[in-house]
Structures are given as structure tokens and as C-alpha cells.
């Protein structure tokens, strides 16, 4: 049994896209947060979401301005899926971001994403549900498209390697399993 934890989700503000229609990989998100992918109709994004006509619009990166566990998990995940991100930004509760505007707390990031057309950010999924934000599907380690929900979190927790952590806690980023959500905080086993 696992204690309920709050998982992270990429959120976007694009009128053309309904919640869950956007598909993003960790590598594409890393390139966005590195400032390498700067428009929503970049071929790397269009290839992932061929059924949506994406606008020729600048991507507005929104990230945390304060130190946080949310930033640690976001950067931990992006460092696992992109060596370039790991080398340029790394992981931590605070990092030296190359691009973007900072919001204070999940509330600040959520508010900025909702206000800025073309924005992308990351928040705890509870804020996505509370405020009905537009979220993206993600491709997990097994190459499957997953949505953020309790089942994909449970899958990540169930597929974690618990023997190396004395079975007490684990950082659940980039876990294997066809239904595993890729970005989660460390979970504690009960």
C-alpha cells in the first residue's frame, strides 16, 4: 500500500488544444525548457500531435521562481531523459534556468500559465484538477502515451525498484511499466 502523493504534470495554454490532446515526450519538454524549441508548430511537437493544427506561436516557458520539491522532480526527470538538460541545467530544488518566467509556488505557475497564451509550465496535478487546466499526455519510459491520474501513479509506484531503498521510499521519475506516469515525487510505502 502506498501513501497518496501528488504527481507533476505539464500544463499548457493553447486555445486550439483540448485537455489531454497534446502529446509531449520528456526530450521535447527538455528542449522547450532549454530554449531549443521555441514555437508550438515546431516539427518535433507537430510529429507527436499530427491530428492537431498547432499555431505558429511562441512558447512561453513558466517555471518555479522559488525552491521546491516540484522543481526537483521536474528537473530530476528531465535530467534522466536528456543528457543535454542534465549538463546545462541539472537537477535540484533551485536551478539556473536558461529561459522562462518564474511563478511563486504551484499557484503562481498555474496562474501564469492560465494568463499567458502559448504558455507551458509544470504543477502538481491537484492544481490541474482544481482549476481545470489544460494538461498534456506524456510518453513514458516504455514508449506508451499516458494521462496523469491515480492509476498511472499507482503503476509507477508498483514498477519501482523498492529493494534498493529498504522498501521505504523511492523517487518515481521515469519508471518502467506500460501504464506508468513518468514524473512523481518519492513515495512512501505503508
Please state, in angstroms and rounded to a whole number, the distance separating the CA atoms of residues 176 and 56: 34
* pTM of this structure: 0.88
Burial of 59 (0-12, 13-18, 19+ CB in 10 A): buried
Nearest to 27 by CA among 109, 134, 138, 128: 138
96 SS3 class = coil
Q: What is the pLDDT of residue 9?
A: 85
* Predicted pLDDT of residue 179: 80
Q: How buried is 145 (Cβ within 10 angstroms: 0-12 exposed, 13-18 middle, 19+ buried)?
A: middle
Cell of 86: 542534465
Q: How do residues 118-142 score in pLDDT, each as one tens digit?
A: 999 998 887 788 888 999 999 999 9
pLDDT tens-place string over residues 21-47: 999 999 999 999 999 999 999 999 999
Amino acid at each position: 500500500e502506498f501513501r497518496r502523493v501528488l504527481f507533476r504534470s505539464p500544463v499548457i495554454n493553447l486555445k486550439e488544444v483540448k485537455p489531454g490532446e497534446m502529446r509531449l515526450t520528456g526530450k521535447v519538454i527538455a528542449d522547450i525548457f532549454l530554449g531549443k524549441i521555441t514555437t508550438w508548430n515546431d516539427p518535433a511537437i507537430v510529429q507527436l500531435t499530427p491530428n492537431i493544427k498547432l499555431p505558429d506561436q511562441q512558447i512561453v516557458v513558466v517555471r518555479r521562481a522559488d525552491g521546491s520539491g516540484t522543481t526537483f522532480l521536474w528537473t530530476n526527470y528531465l535530467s534522466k531523459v536528456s543528457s543535454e538538460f542534465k549538463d546545462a541545467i541539472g537537477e535540484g530544488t533551485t536551478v539556473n534556468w536558461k529561459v522562462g518566467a518564474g511563478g511563486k509556488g504551484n499557484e503562481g505557475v498555474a496562474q501564469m500559465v492560465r494568463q499567458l497564451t502559448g504558455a507551458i509550465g509544470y504543477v502538481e496535478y491537484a492544481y490541474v484538477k482544481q482549476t481545470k487546466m489544460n494538461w498534456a499526455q506524456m510518453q513514458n519510459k516504455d514508449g506508451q502515451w499516458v494521462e496523469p491520474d491515480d492509476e498511472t501513479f499507482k503503476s509507477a509506484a508498483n514498477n519501482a525498484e523498492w529493494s534498493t531503498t529498504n522498501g521505504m521510499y523511492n523517487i518515481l521519475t521515469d519508471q518502467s511499466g506500460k501504464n506508468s506516469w513518468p514524473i512523481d515525487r518519492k513515495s512512501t510505502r505503508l
